[in-house]
Amino acid sequence: MNFVVEGLHASVAGREVLHGVDLTVNSGEVHVIMGPNGSGKSTLAHALMGRPGTTVTAGSIRLDGNELVGLPAWQRARAGMFLALQHPVEVPGVGLRSLLDAAADGVATDTLDERLKAEARAVGLDAALLTRPLNVDLSGGEKKRTEMVQLGVLQPALCILDEIDSGLDVDALGAVARRLQLATSAWQVGILAVTHFHRFLVELEADVVHVMVDGRIVASGDAELALELEQTGYAGYAT
**Per residue in 61-108, pLDDT tens?**
999 999 999 999 999 999 999 999 888 999 999 989 888 888 877 666
Average pLDDT over residues 36-63: 96
**Quick one: which of 200, 156, 155 has its CA closest to 177?**
200
SS3 of residue 9 by DSSP: strand
> Looking at the predicted structure, is the pLDDT value of residue 239 above 70?
no
pLDDT at 103: 87
Backbone angles phi, psi at 157, to 5 degrees: -80, -35
pLDDT at 170: 85
Residue-averaged pLDDT of the chain: 92
pLDDT-derived band of residue 179, with 50, 70 and 90 as boundaries? very high
Q: CA angle 209-160-215, nearest 5°?
A: 60
Total Cβ atoms within 10 A of residue 131? 9
CA–CA separation, 10 and 137 (whole Å): 34
CA–CA separation, 221 and 19 (whole Å): 21
CA–CA separation, 106 and 116 (whole Å): 15
pLDDT at 167: 77
**Quick one: which of 192, 162, 214 has its CA closest to 17?**
214
Total Cβ atoms within 10 A of residue 151? 23
DSSP letter assigned to residue 90: P
